[in-house]
Chain A
């Protein structure tokens, strides 16, 4: 059974820092991987989707990489801002294309 782990569980950084969030998964037979953002009391918003054949995806200050063989993905946030404060979750899609398995998330706080 697929297991997804995110480290650290919480992170606090000063504004302007570049930071990396980590996601690891036990079964490399994945179809894709998504990074989500969740704000308190709200639903999840998909930030980046990486197909298993891709190595990375970029959107603005966000860059997500995928190393399928080692079971790892990273989300890089450049020049962090207080508005980036949220919980970030990664989720891997199985090869059957019908299910996502989520990590526990990293709660990020960016201090002004």
Chain B
């Protein structure tokens, strides 16, 4: 089944404790992206990747890191999480964001205490 898989679904952590949210897609998509969704602010892009080893900042990259060492995986790293990073996070992928639909993972609800 074609899908974007995020893990974990729920995560509670404390300020400053490094964490990684994993994202994997099995559709051989070149484009992958991370978003955060907050009430009243909608979905905002954090980072995106056009292909392996090619990543770039979105609208709200501060406090986040990403890597794209292989095509299927695009992990989101929070080196020192803070409470303002409490949010619902989504990973998405597309064969080509210019002409193809975007597929989303089920989301990761992160709470930073």
B-binding residues in A (CB < 8 A):
31-32, 34, 36, 41-46, 49, 51, 89, 91, 93, 97-105
Tell me, rounded to whole Å, the shortest Cβ–Cβ distance linking B17 to chain A: 25
Whether the pair A46, B103 counts as a contact (CB closer than 8 A) is yes
Whether the pair B99, A43 counts as a contact (CB closer than 8 A) is no
Bound: A103/B107 CA distance, A? 18
A-binding residues in B (CB < 8 A):
4, 31, 33, 35, 40, 42-45, 48, 50, 56, 58-59, 90, 92, 96-107
Whether the pair B90, A98 counts as a contact (CB closer than 8 A) is no
Which of A42, A43, A44, A98 interacts with B56 by CB under 8 Å? Answer: A98
Secondary structure dominating the interface of A: strand
Whether the pair B102, A46 counts as a contact (CB closer than 8 A) is yes
Task: With CB as the reference atom, state the residue of chain A lying closest to B100.
Answer: A49
Whether the pair A49, B101 counts as a contact (CB closer than 8 A) is yes
* Cross-chain pair count, CB within 8 angstroms: 61
Specify which chain A residues have a CB less than 8 angstroms from the CB of B48 in the assembled complex: 98-99
Specify which chain A residues have a CB less than 8 angstroms from the CB of B33 in the assembled complex: 100
Using A89-B43, A98-B56, A99-B58 as known contacts, say yes or no to A45 and B97 having CB atoms under 8 A apart. no
Can you list 8 A-B pairs, Cβ within 8 angstroms, ordered by A?
A: A32-B98, A32-B99, A42-B107, A44-B102, A51-B99, A93-B98, A100-B102, A104-B40
Bound: A43/B90 CA distance, A? 7
The residue among B33, B44, B98 with the most chain A CB atoms within 10 A of its own CB is B98
Specify which chain B residues have a CB less than 8 angstroms from the CB of A41 in the assembled complex: 107
Whether the pair B103, A102 counts as a contact (CB closer than 8 A) is no
Bound: A100/B56 CA distance, A? 13
Using A44-B90, A98-B48 as known contacts, say yes or no to A34 and B106 having CB atoms under 8 A apart. no
Whether the pair A45, B104 counts as a contact (CB closer than 8 A) is yes
Specify which chain B residues have a CB less than 8 angstroms from the CB of A98 in the assembled complex: 31, 48, 50, 56, 97
Bound: A36/B4 CA distance, A? 16
Whether the pair B98, A46 counts as a contact (CB closer than 8 A) is no
Which of B31, B59, B100, B106 interacts with A43 by CB under 8 Å? Answer: B106
Tell me, rounded to whole Å, the shortest Cβ–Cβ distance linking B49 to chain A: 9
Using A42-B106, A43-B90, A43-B107 as known contacts, say yes or no to A100 and B97 having CB atoms under 8 A apart. yes
